[in-house]
A and B are shown apart, each in its own frame.
Chain A
């Protein structure tokens, strides 16, 4: 069936076609193959994939829905393809970035040179919501703060990759990458062989190695567990998926207990020691005796065991300071400061509301800008100026003036588009982003590709699963 009849890239950068509608070379083989399918075959494949996802419970929970509804994360069968050279460029950029982030986090929790040298004003770091002053001068295992990072990349109208945000706490989505790939292999077994797609399935092994690398000194055969908030968390599927892939226990806070600064899990044979915790819960909930007192998800005494060096955590505590969108603004300078390099992957141009000149510009140009709260994610706490009502704009004007530290502004980036199946109208361009997953252990490992999220609603720029987003398989080609 024809993929691109009546397809128009319009004024956007399209991943698959040039503005003159010629197919980009790295998509050519896929398109040729795809066009041998007829409509019935395509429908059958789509239905089979949806059904398989539902049956396997590859779903996420929708918060605020009293029915406890689970939805499948809609999956589009047309893969996003990245040529080898382009991926190499991204890899270099991502490695540079996670290296700088780890150096930065070490510095802000120790000497604070970057602040003393005036490169990043101390105020911004110290006022960051997730800055943990309790951990200043604390030596984290192997000096690694961010073990797992899920950086969000977008492309502007000229196809340049830009970093939208770094997710240095507990980025999710990797299980969808692995499951999407399985679904694609089932649907198009022949295509993989003829096109040459780099595999993604060593991720779980690499992740486990990253965890074992940070085990407390002297533990020969460390026990690694995954700490989940529980079955009602929206990413619970992913937690069980990863635990199963790694062959480790998935635990909830109530399964762990601390005795004499050592962490144990409660088993049918009594207590068993735990050495490394891949935690998928926020700092705030980790330990009710240190952080939020009302946390029922955490483990009393865990932080003390961590401080004593008897258990390691990934990611480390306090990495959220790097997720602050104001700190993001300084990332190009942070890279330059520690590595003496120019950033390979640029940021989106950003205005800080707490800088007078920037604030003035922001307030004058609200209808053109995207305004974001410094510590929100998932597409919440955000103003899309060009699409907002007058009331929304005025609301954000008030918010910015009341708390300028907490807001940034960015020009509206249109995001690249990708042909995507739409029930009513066949293939149409839909906006996409890309979240690669970076592991930082003994060495840096980047899974080839990552999660391509797609905004399924026509014209929408919001790719989040909670707000009408779907996903695609991402193919990185061999050279």
Chain B
């Protein structure tokens, strides 16, 4: 597969996942506000600002807006063309990448990406958004589900598939850490948090819902929502499909499938890093994480995910552009032979 094509498939998948997660976060937080009718400006800002801080670029945001409130933050993350992480930009970039690999993806997939892109650019999207944000987010998320389903049901399990999966799981793991980080200001920097206010409980529930983890949580832990158990589920669960551990396990197996390396061994730097990250997630517990400090731990996870992504790029995407002499020689022999 062309390296450029692998690159496009990887980013196509990341951007779809990104749009989905951003839609989730905004939707849940808008709904949450319905429970907080009596908040003053300062509290409102405390609610919205972390979304900007963890998923976007705070300096850039304040170049465009004076304060972080429901209107400015949602606008920034939905239609703002200058925010590369906005839903509209993510979908536009997903589509741009899809266009580059039109011949590699299925017609059904292309049509759906194209449809949601055209919808987001249309007046109808603005109208939908104005009349019912929830309906609007539902549309974005439904499209993302459609695309995931189409990828699963129409793309052959060859190299291209693995790059699509790698992009999806890196993005999903990263976004889960960012969603979990939203309320870190209400936690002590080290150690287990103390008692929580009712507002805190609602906000931690919002975190669960942003990850579609509410039902899974209730099955395991019941209705009592607290930071420790939420973090346990979203970071360390081997079963919940949006937990960091689950995503890293998938990512690790995708990388092995690409190279053919058996479990427990590594053949390249990407597998070394993903394997290391996976065993670290497998052999820790939530007490250790809180003792170290949740925010700091999440930061380090994000860095390690980046490292895996970079290693993947240097092996499969940049590397062929700087092939060493031995590779050339080998290939010339292949040609001449």
State the A residues within 8 Å of B (CB).
54-57, 231, 236-237, 240-241, 243-244, 249-252, 254-255, 257, 259-260, 262, 264-273
Q: Is the CB of B110 within 8 A of A56?
A: yes
| A254: nearest chain-B partner, CB-CB | B4
Nearest A residue to B162 by beta-carbon distance? A268
Q: A249-B2, A259-B328, A260-B332 known; A268 and B320 CB under 8 Å?
A: yes
| Docked complex Cα distance between A231 and B103 (Å) | 12
Of all chain B residues, the one with the shortest Cβ separation from A262 is B335
Asked whether A267 and B102 contact (CB < 8 A) given A252-B4, A260-B332, A262-B335, the answer is no
Contacts of A241 in B (CB 8 A): 102
**Cβ–Cβ contact B2 & A231, under 8 A:** no
Measured CB to CB, the nearest residue on chain B to A243 is B103
Q: Once the chains bind, are A268 and B103 in contact (CB under 8 Å)? A: no
CB pair B2 A251 closer than 8 Å: yes
Q: Which of B49-57, B111-119, B287-295 contacts A (4 or more CB under 8 A)?
A: B111-119
| Min CB gap A391→B, angstroms | 39
Can you spell out 26 A-B residue pairs with CB atoms less than 8 angstroms apart? A55-B111, A55-B114, A55-B115, A56-B110, A57-B114, A231-B96, A231-B100, A240-B103, A244-B103, A254-B4, A255-B3, A255-B4, A257-B321, A259-B331, A260-B328, A262-B332, A265-B2, A266-B4, A267-B1, A267-B2, A267-B320, A268-B3, A268-B320, A270-B320, A271-B323, A273-B334
Q: B316 at interface (Cβ–Cβ under 8 A)?
A: yes
Q: How far is the CA of A243 from the CA of B2 in the complex (A)?
A: 14
Contact (Cβ within 8 A) B107 A264? no
| Cβ A271 vs Cβ B327 within 8 A | yes
Contacts of A56 in B (CB 8 A): 107, 110-111, 114
Minimum Cβ distance to chain A for residue B299 (Å): 31
Q: For chain B residues 1-23, which have a beta carbon within 8 Å of chain A?
A: 1-6
Contact of A268 among B1, B107, B118, B334 (CB under 8 A): B1
Number of interface residues of B (CB under 8 A): 30
Nearest chain A residue, comparing its CB with the CB of B115: A55
Q: How far is the CB of A222 from chain B (nearest CB, A)?
A: 12
Please measure, in the bound complex, the distance between the C-alpha atom of A112 and the C-alpha atom of B283, giving whole angstroms.
79
Cα A57 to Cα B107 with chains together (Å): 10
> Looking at B102, B118, B258, B323, which has the most chain A CB atoms within 10 Å of its CB?
B102
Given A244-B102, A271-B323, A266 contacting B3 (CB threshold 8 A)? yes
A250-B100 Cα distance, complex, nearest whole Å? 9
B99 interface contact, C-beta 8 A: yes
Answer yes or no: B317 CB below 8 A from chain A CBs.
yes
CB-CB nearest in chain B for A236: B99
Point out residues on B near A: beta carbons under 8 Å. Answer: 1-6, 96, 99-100, 102-103, 107, 110-111, 114-115, 118, 159, 258, 316-317, 320-321, 323, 327-328, 331-332, 334-335
Cα A250 to Cα B102 in complex, Å, equals 9
- CB pair A231–B115 under 8 Å, yes or no, is no
Main secondary structure of the interface of B (DSSP, over half): helix
List the B side residues contacting A249 at CB < 8 Å: 2, 5, 103
Closest-by-CB residue of B relative to A259 is B328
Residues in B with CB closer than 8 Å to A257 are 321
CB distance from B186 to the nearest CB of A (A): 44
User: Could you say which residues of chain B place their CB within 8 Å of the CB of A264?
Assistant: 331
* Bound: A237/B98 CA distance, A: 12
Identity of the chain A residue whose Cβ is nearest the Cβ of B100 in the assembled complex: A231
* CA of A243 to CA of B3, assembled, Å: 17
A136 to B99, CA, bound (A): 39
B99 cross-chain contacts in A, Cβ below 8 A:
57, 231, 236, 240
B267 CB to closest chain A CB, in angstroms?
13
Determine how close the nearest CB of chain A comes to the CB of B258; give it in whole angstroms: 8
B335 touches A54 (CB 8 A): no
Closest CB of chain B to A223's CB: distance in Å? Answer: 11
Name the B residues within 8 Å of A251 (CB-CB). 2
Which single residue of chain B is at the shortest CB-CB distance from A272? B331
Contacts of B3 in A (CB 8 A): 255, 266-268
Enumerate chain A residues within 8 angstroms of B2, measured Cβ to Cβ: 249, 251, 255, 265-268
Instruction: Give Cα A157–Cα B98 distance, bound, in whole angstroms.
Output: 47
Q: Residue on A with the closest CB to B331?
A: A271
Chain B residues within 8 Å of A269, by CB: 1, 320
Asked whether A54 lies within 8 Å of B118 as measured between CB atoms, the reply is yes
| A273, B327: Cβ atoms closer than 8 Å | no
CA distance A57 to B100 in the complex (A): 12
- Bound-complex Cα distance A430 to B107 (A): 33
Once the chains are docked, how many angstroms separate the CA of A271 from the CA of B329?
Answer: 11
Which residues of chain A are near B332, meaning CB under 8 Å? Answer: 259-260, 262
CB contact between A250 and one of B96, B103, B328 (< 8 Å): that residue: B103
Cα distance A30–B268 in the bound complex, in angstroms: 64
- Once bound together, how far apart are the Cα atoms of A240 and B99, in whole Å? 9
Residues of A within 8 A of B107 (CB): 56
A-B pairs with lowest CB-CB distance, top 3: A240-B102, A244-B103, A266-B320
Q: How far is the CB of A266 from chain B (nearest CB, A)?
A: 4
B328, chain A: closest CB distance, angstroms: 5
What is the minimal beta-carbon distance from B317 to any residue of chain A, in angstroms?
7
Q: Which residue of A lies closest to B317 (CB)?
A: A268
What is the bound-complex CA distance between A236 and B100, given in angstroms? 9
* Besides the known contacts A54-B114, A266-B321, A271-B331, 5 further A-B residue pairs in the complex with CB atoms under 8 A apart: A57-B99, A57-B102, A231-B96, A265-B2, A268-B2
The distance in angstroms between the C-alpha atoms of A255 and B320, with both chains bound, is: 10
Residues of A within 8 A of B100 (CB): 231
The listed residue (A268, A271, A272) touching B159 by CB distance below 8 A is A268
Q: Are B96 and A271 in contact (CB under 8 A)?
A: no
